[in-house]
């Protein structure tokens, strides 16, 4: 037959379902055996397992086979009873506790990788103590009354040769008071074979007395059933057996005592032969004989058609009766018990066919009798028999499933048997690699029949089944480990809980399951802290600091426990890349000032290209050679340092880096500072060099000693404290000031979360984005951006614009001053300046600082500095050169006046760069630049628009409509003046502004419209009326729009508002000056300068869409007597060509037909009391329909040709036949521009304008 021990379950069955031998010894026997630290049963146990006993056996059908593997299980009579539940529970708890203590060292080692575990075999992955635990669970339901494989097949009566009256002792040993309950209750046959063993201790003397007693025993009990066993033959010295056969089985020996120390080799052989002879010559043959006898009885009573009908008839009607739990129903002599004994004996002797046939026969009986526990036991054995036969796997699993559910249906009394059945079922599934199904059975065991601690073990075994499944079910593996660890924790098995959770970590690592990831690390950290391993606990607690996805209460819990564990450690931890707060390395910005210096942090964030565009005309190297000063001076530097970044000794190297609080809680961090290394040599400092001043070593994520103090003689570090609110991101502005020339390296940033927790972040040079120019980036693409060459101290210019407002209204005009200071002893000279937005800033003359504002703008004043202001219309519009004699020394500020005007609403960035040279020619750097940036918010004030239409009554005159709207929400404005810039246009009001705008105050949201007359005078005289006073007080001075700064700002407004299609058009520029009323919130005793506003409208076109202008002129009223003849009236039409092309104009006149005119206007008599208007439709008396009211005399068509900008006059004559008022608009002008291929409109028609002629008759 095939070796059944090949599989784990088969080996387990061969160990657990084997014949039981009951042992009844006298106390002297135990005393003699205890000299070896063993009991009598323990002494025989190692020799009760046979791997090759080779005993011939015949089946019930006389089929011969040989037993090779065999085992006897020996128990004292007092142990042959159902185990106590509480004792069993404590023993299982002890097994689990011992396993945790034995694996204590593994708790502090990193578990193997998940990939390695998933590809390993079961023995390599599953803890070894599970097998021992499962065996103890199986043995917890031993010696049940419904099973026969735990019933003794033989009894050993053991007496010592030193016992008094040994024969009587043998008789007394088999007393009913000492027998197990199974025998006394009738569950098993008391007539079991008895074997009488006489034990002689050779240390008690010669075996002569033992020989006499043995002869007497044989005369009394029979020679075949008596044995003599001599022990303790070692004389004078203790025997140390290597290997010791009793070590795997355990004993009650005292510590240090050698097991079997008095048993020599002869004793060992005698013990081995004793058990072998007992098995092969007595027990196996007796079991074989018993099987034959029982098989004959069963065949005679139950097999065959007649016996089956008889059995069914006898059991008829039992289906409606409840289950009978009484043992007496199935005593040892009942046919059901005999069939069960027959099946179990056949199973133990490997006759699985016979066993299966009897189990099947018995299953039906128990089911009909509703003896469910016995039915479940038979189903369980049927499943095992199918498995051992290796026939129908499906039938085997069906029987195990049926047995398991039936045990559970019984209730509490069946839970232990259900557990054993489930464990055997699991092993059965594992043999066919059905690990997924095996895990499901483990889960059912844990949830339905187990104590919480036992359930934890089952869940952990289920997790390993999911791991070993093909393919591996990793999520279920991790989930069941978590369930197991949670139950371990509830049962105070902390070490097992740690092991389960640590194995689960590999599943959740790198996944998005952040909540369970935090839970696992948090629990492991708490458990390690409970065990006193605070260093390992901190490693896990650090993983949950950045738990932004957790609730506020959970974050508070995590932080409280984290700091409690940290306090208990009593150590200071230096953690690389501490997760609280989170360092945003992408925000890291390092600013070192070389030849470029910055006046404000805002200037640093400006793109380098913006500054280059401003400086390219000032810096000679940029404008000529297009190289940096480093390129020019590279020959002066050592070869190793040509590509180094540069900073100046005594000037701060500024670093900005943002910290983000991932929590909803407020967290303070202390002593945020940079980590730097410094070397006075030209070679860049090494991190391991002992000569460098090191703020810390980079050692990954481990606790290291780290000092934050620096050598202040070499460099000085700034320290800041930050409080981060929940979810807040704060930019920390840090700095390091080098004190000496050398090499400086910025290695990272450090901070304190508490006095015991220091975090640091080491910068990776490849990830740093340093603000370098394009040329410098190209030259330094291989340089370390964290290393800086510290050069000799240089003068540094500091500048600020005094009183520059951050919020201002559009058009507001201010007088400011630029203050420059030099804190160095070395003076600077040859200063230049350029402004990015000349529409906002203009440079004034220093004398303006001594004149009141806005008096300096008035037209009537005549100051000596009138022509001394910086006039951009006459000088360079790009770079302002300071006077040659300007030298800025230490401690002496230099002031330069500036004019500021808020040109347009919105957020505006003003860029100003100042170039200056260093007088000390020994320095490597010959010049520097100061860059400043100012952010302004310009609010809307007045919206001003102009619409110009030609006058219908005068040539070269226009009607201007000015619309003004106050766009502010709170401020009032007073209009001061309106000016036409230049001397070409004369402007005047058509109607006094006091009539249409009596209040003179434009309140928020108010709109104003007024009309003005505009005339082109084309003269350069200064007394042209180019200004219109709009205020309510006429004695106020008018501002001079032809002088700086107004003319300068207007110049840039013209450049800004200029468009391409306006180049060839006639245009006019307007400037509206207004004042803002003082706010009511400002105290009256606080002097405030007047708020002057200038609004510029440039390139306002005076041309129309039609290039032809005309004017019909002549008498409007004529007295004539129609008694003599008709009346003739002479008219004159003036035509002007305003285009730049030659124009051909044709004038067509039309005689009005009776009742109408070509223009659609009515003609004839009108009521003279109400002169007709343009839209008047009333008519007078009609003449005879055959006579027209008037006619055009002369030619009806006249054609003229006009040169560009030329004017001509044409005479016209109209004849009237009766008094009345006539509308002489019955004419058209057809024009055509010659040679105007690029013009949008080459030709068109102009219809006549209304011209009213009144004829009055004379009496």
pLDDT in tens, 923-937: 777 888 999 999 999
DSSP for 788-835, written as a single string: EEEE-----EEEEEET--SEEETTEEEEEEEEEEE-SSS-EEEEEEEE
**Confidence (pLDDT) at 355:** 92
**Confidence (pLDDT) at 1018:** 64
What is the dihedral angle through the alpha carbons of 158, 162, 167, 172, rounded to the nearest 10 degrees? -60
Q: Which residues share a beta bridge with 787?
A: 745
The whole model's pTM is what? 0.66
Nearest by Cα to 71 from 228, 275, 245: 275
Alpha carbon distance 663, 669 (integer Å): 14
Whether the per-residue pLDDT at 1199 is higher than 80: the answer is: yes
Residue range 1218-1241: mean pLDDT, rounded: 81
pLDDT in tens, 408-456: 998 888 888 999 999 999 999 998 889 999 999 999 998 886 788 999 9
Q: Band the pLDDT of 807: cuts 50, 70, 90.
A: very high
Alpha carbon distance 1205, 1126 (integer Å): 39
Q: Band the pLDDT of 110: cuts 50, 70, 90.
A: low
Alpha carbon distance 1237, 1241 (integer Å): 9
Q: Band the pLDDT of 645: cuts 50, 70, 90.
A: confident
> Does residue 730 contact residue 658 with C-beta atoms inside 8 Å?
yes
Alpha carbon distance 241, 244 (integer Å): 5
**Confidence (pLDDT) at 1100:** 86
**Confidence (pLDDT) at 115:** 65
Q: Band the pLDDT of 395: cuts 50, 70, 90.
A: very high
Alpha carbon distance 889, 797 (integer Å): 10
Q: Band the pLDDT of 1041: cuts 50, 70, 90.
A: confident
**Confidence (pLDDT) at 283:** 93
| Greater pLDDT, 44 or 1178 | 44
Handedness of CA 73, 78, 83, 86 (dihedral sign): negative
Residue range 336-364: mean pLDDT, rounded: 91
Nearest by Cα to 662 from 770, 445, 514: 514
| Greater pLDDT, 156 or 878 | 156
Q: Band the pLDDT of 318: cuts 50, 70, 90.
A: low
Alpha carbon distance 736, 712 (integer Å): 10
Least confident of 214-218, 531-535, 544-548, 873-877: 873-877
> Does residue 234 contact residue 258 with C-beta atoms inside 8 Å?
no
Calculate the average pLDDT of the chain. Answer: 81
Handedness of CA 295, 297, 301, 305 (dihedral sign): positive
**Confidence (pLDDT) at 633:** 45
3-class SS of residue 1181: coil
Q: Which helix (H) or strand (E) element contains residue 774?
A: helix 774-779
**Confidence (pLDDT) at 994:** 78
3-class SS of residue 171: helix
Whether the per-residue pLDDT at 4 is higher than 50: the answer is: no
Q: Which residues share a beta bridge with 729?
A: 660
**Confidence (pLDDT) at 854:** 79
**Confidence (pLDDT) at 1077:** 85
Alpha carbon distance 789, 680 (integer Å): 10
Give the length of the chain. 1259
Whether the per-residue pLDDT at 1184 is higher than 60: the answer is: no
Residue range 1084-1092: mean pLDDT, rounded: 67
Nearest by Cα to 332 from 360, 297, 361: 297
Whether the per-residue pLDDT at 139 is higher than 70: the answer is: yes
Cα angle for residues 954, 959, 964 (degrees, 5° grid): 170
Least confident of 142-156, 681-695, 1058-1072, 1125-1139: 681-695
Whether the per-residue pLDDT at 911 is higher than 80: the answer is: yes
**Confidence (pLDDT) at 196:** 93
Nearest by Cα to 695 from 684, 705, 706, 682: 706
Alpha carbon distance 416, 380 (integer Å): 13
Write b or e for each residue in 369-393: b if 16 or more Cβ atoms lie within 10 A of its Cβ, otherwise e. bebbbbbbbbbbbbbbbbbbeeeee
3-state secondary structure 1196-1225: CEEEEEECCCCEEEEEEEEEECCCEEEECC
Q: Band the pLDDT of 315: cuts 50, 70, 90.
A: low
Alpha carbon distance 518, 239 (integer Å): 58
**Confidence (pLDDT) at 866:** 45
Whether the per-residue pLDDT at 769 is higher than 50: the answer is: no
Whether the per-residue pLDDT at 697 is higher than 50: the answer is: no
Whether the per-residue pLDDT at 705 is higher than 70: the answer is: no
DSSP 89: H
Least confident of 172-176, 412-416, 605-609, 691-695: 691-695
Whether the per-residue pLDDT at 229 is higher than 60: the answer is: yes
pLDDT in tens, 1106-1152: 778 888 888 988 888 877 788 888 888 888 887 778 889 999 988 75
**Confidence (pLDDT) at 627:** 46
**Confidence (pLDDT) at 605:** 83
CB atoms within 10 A of CB 642: 17
Alpha carbon distance 660, 191 (integer Å): 85
Residue range 539-568: mean pLDDT, rounded: 88
102 φ/ψ angles, rounded to the nearest 5 degrees = -70, -30
Could you give the residue ranges of the DSSP H alpha helices within 491-596?
494-508, 514-530, 534-541, 552-569
**Confidence (pLDDT) at 247:** 84
**Confidence (pLDDT) at 1167:** 41
**Confidence (pLDDT) at 215:** 92
**Confidence (pLDDT) at 424:** 92
pLDDT in tens, 459-515: 999 999 999 888 889 899 999 999 999 999 999 999 999 989 988 888 888 788 888
3-class SS of residue 583: strand
CB atoms within 10 A of CB 771: 17
Q: Which helix (H) or strand (E) element contains residue 1013?
A: strand 1007-1016
């Amino acid at each position: 037959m095939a070796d059944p021990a090949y599989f784990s379950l088969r080996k387990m069955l061969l160990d657990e379902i084997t014949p039981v031998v009951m042992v009844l010894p006298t106390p002297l026997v135990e005393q003699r055996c205890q000299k070896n630290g063993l009991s009598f049963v323990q002494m025989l146990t190692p020799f009760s397992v046979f791997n090759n006993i080779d005993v011939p056996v015949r089946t019930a059908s006389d089929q011969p086979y040989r037993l090779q593997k065999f085992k006897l299980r020996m128990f004292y009579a007092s142990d042959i009873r159902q185990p106590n539940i509480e004792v069993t529970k404590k023993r299982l708890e002890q097994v689990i506790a011992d396993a945790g203590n034995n694996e204590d060292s593994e708790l502090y080692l990193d578990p193997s990788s998940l990939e390695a575990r998933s590809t390993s075999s079961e023995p390599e992955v599953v803890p070894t103590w599970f097998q021992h635990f499962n065996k103890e669970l199986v043995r917890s339901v031993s010696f049940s009354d419904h099973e026969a494989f735990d019933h003794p097949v033989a009894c050993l009566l053991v007496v010592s040769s030193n016992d008094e009256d040994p024969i009587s002792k043998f008789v007394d040993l088999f007393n009913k008071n000492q027998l197990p309950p199974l025998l006394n209750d009738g569950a098993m046959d008391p007539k079991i074979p008895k074997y009488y063993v006489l034990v002689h201790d050779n240390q008690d003397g010669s075996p002569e007395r033992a020989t006499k007693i043995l002869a007497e025993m044989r005369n009394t009990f029979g020679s075949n059933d008596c044995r003599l066993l001599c022990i303790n033959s070692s004389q004078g010295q203790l025997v140390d057996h290597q290997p010791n056969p009793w070590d795997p089985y355990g004993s009650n020996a005292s510590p240090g005592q050698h097991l079997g120390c008095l048993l020599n080799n002869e004793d060992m052989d005698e013990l081995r032969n004793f058990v072998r002879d007992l098995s092969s010559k007595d027990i196996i043959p007796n079991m074989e004989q018993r099987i034959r006898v029982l098989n004959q009885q069963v065949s005679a009573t139950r097999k065959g058609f007649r016996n089956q009908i008889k059995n069914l008839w006898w059991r008829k009607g039992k289906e409606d009766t409840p289950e009978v739990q009484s043992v007496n129903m199935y005593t040892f002599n009942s046919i059901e018990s005999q069939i069960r004994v027959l099946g179990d004996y056949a199973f133990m002797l490997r006759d699985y066919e016979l066993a299966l046939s009897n189990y099947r026969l018995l299953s039906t009986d128990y089911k009909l009798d509703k003896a469910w526990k016995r039915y479940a036991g038979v189903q369980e054995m049927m499943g095992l028999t199918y498995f051992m036969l290796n026939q129908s796997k499906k039938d085997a699993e069906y029987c195990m499933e049926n047995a398991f559910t039936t045990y559970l249906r019984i209730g509490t009394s069946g839970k232990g048997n259900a557990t054993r059945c489930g464990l055997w079922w699991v092993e059965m599934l594992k043999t066919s690699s059905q690990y997924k199904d095996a895990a499901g059975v483990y889960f059912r065991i844990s949830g339905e029949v187990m104590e919480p601690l036992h359930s934890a073990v089952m869940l952990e075994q289920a997790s390993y089944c999911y791991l070993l499944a093909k393919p591996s079910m990793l999520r279920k593996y991790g989930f069941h480990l978590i369930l197991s660890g949670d139950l371990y924790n509830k049962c105070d098995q902390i070490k097992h809980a740690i092991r389960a959770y640590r194995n689960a970590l590999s599943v959740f690592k790198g996944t998005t399951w952040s909540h369970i990831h935090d839970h696992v690390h948090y629990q492991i950290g708490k458990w390690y802290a409970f065990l006193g391993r605070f260093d390992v606990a901190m490693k896990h607690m650090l993983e949950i600091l950045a738990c932004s996805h957790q609730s506020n209460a959970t974050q508070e819990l995590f932080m409280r426990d984290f700091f409690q564990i940290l306090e208990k450690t009593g150590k200071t931890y230096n953690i690389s890349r501490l997760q609280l707060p989170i360092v945003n390395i992408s925000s890291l910005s390092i600013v070192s000032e070389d030849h470029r210096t910055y006046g404000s942090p805002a200037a640093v964030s400006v793109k380098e290209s913006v500054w280059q565009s401003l400086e390219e005309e000032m810096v000679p190297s940029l404008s000529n050679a297009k190289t940096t000063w480093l390129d020019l001076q590279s020959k002066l530097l050592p070869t190793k340092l040509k590509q180094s970044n540069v900073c100046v000794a005594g000037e701060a190297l500024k670093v900005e880096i943002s910290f983000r609080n991932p929590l909803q809680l407020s967290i303070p961090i202390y002593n945020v500072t940079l980590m730097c290394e410094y070397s006075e040599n030209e070679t860049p400092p090494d991190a391991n060099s002992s000569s460098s001043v090191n703020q810390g070593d980079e050692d990954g994520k481990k606790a290291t000693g780290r000092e934050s103090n620096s050598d202040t003689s070499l460099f000085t570090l700034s320290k800041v404290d930050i409080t981060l609110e929940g979810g807040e991101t704060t930019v920390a502005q840090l700095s390091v000031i080098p004190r000496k020339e050398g090499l400086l390296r910025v290695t990272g940033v450090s901070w304190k979360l508490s006095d015991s927790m220091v975090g640091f972040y080491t910068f990776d040079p490849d990830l740093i984005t340093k603000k370098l120019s394009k040329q410098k980036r190209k030259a330094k693409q291989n340089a370390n951006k964290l290393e800086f060459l510290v050069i000799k101290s240089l003068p540094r210019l500091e500048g600020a614009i005094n009183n520059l407002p951050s919020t201002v209204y559009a058009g507001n005009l201010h007088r400011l001053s630029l203050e420059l200071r030099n804190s160095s002893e070395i003076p600077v000279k040859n200063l230049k300046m350029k402004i990015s937005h000349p529409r906002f800033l203009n440079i004034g003359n220093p004398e303006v600082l001594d004149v009141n504002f806005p008096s300096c703008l008035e037209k009537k004043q005549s100051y000596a500095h009138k022509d001394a202001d910086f006039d951009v219309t006459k000088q360079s519009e790009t770079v302002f050169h300071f006077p040659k004699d300007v030298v800025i020394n230490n401690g002496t500020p230099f002031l330069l006046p500036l004019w500021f005007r808020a040109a347009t609403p919105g957020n505006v960035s003003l860029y100003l760069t100042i170039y200056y040279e260093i007088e000390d020619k020994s320095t490597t750097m010959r010049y520097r630049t100061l860059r400043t940036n100012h952010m302004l918010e310009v609010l809307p004030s007045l919206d001003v628009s102009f619409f110009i239409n030609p006058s219908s009554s005068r040539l070269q005159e226009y009607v201007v409509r000015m619309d003004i709207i106050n766009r502010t929400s709170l401020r009032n404005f007073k209009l001061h003046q309106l000016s036409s810039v230049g001397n070409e246009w004369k402007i005047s009001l058509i109607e006094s502004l006091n009539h249409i705008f009596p209040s003179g105050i434009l309140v928020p949201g108010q709109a104003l419209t007024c009309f003005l007359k505009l005339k082109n005078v084309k003269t350069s005289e200064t007394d042209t009326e180019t200004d219109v006073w709009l205020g309510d007080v006429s004695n106020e001075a008018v501002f001079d729009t032809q002088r700086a700064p107004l003319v300068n700002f207007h110049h840039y407004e013209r450049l800004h508002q200029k468009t391409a299609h306006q180049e060839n058009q006639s245009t006019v520029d307007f400037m509206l000056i207004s004042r803002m009323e003082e706010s009511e919130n400002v105290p009256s005793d606080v002097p405030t300068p007047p708020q002057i506003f200038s609004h510029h409208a440039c390139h306002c076109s005076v041309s129309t869409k039609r290039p032809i202008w005309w004017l019909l002129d002549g008498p409007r009223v004529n007295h004539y007597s129609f008694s003599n003849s008709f009346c003739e009236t002479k008219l004159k039409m003036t035509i002007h060509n305003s285009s730049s092309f030659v124009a051909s104009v044709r004038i067509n006149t039309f005689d009005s037909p009776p009742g109408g005119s070509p223009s659609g206007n009515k003609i004839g008599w009108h009521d003279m009391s109400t002169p007709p208007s343009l839209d008047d439709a009333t008519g007078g008396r009609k003449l005879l329909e055959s006579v027209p009211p008037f006619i055009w005399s002369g030619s009806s068509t006249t054609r003229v040709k006009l040169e560009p900008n030329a004017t001509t006059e044409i005479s016209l004559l109209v004849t009237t036949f009766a008094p009345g008022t006539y509308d002489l608009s019955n004419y058209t002008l057809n024009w055509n521009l010659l040679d105007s291929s690029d013009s949008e409109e080459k030709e068109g028609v102009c219809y006549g304008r209304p011209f009213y002629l009144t004829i009055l008759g004379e009496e």
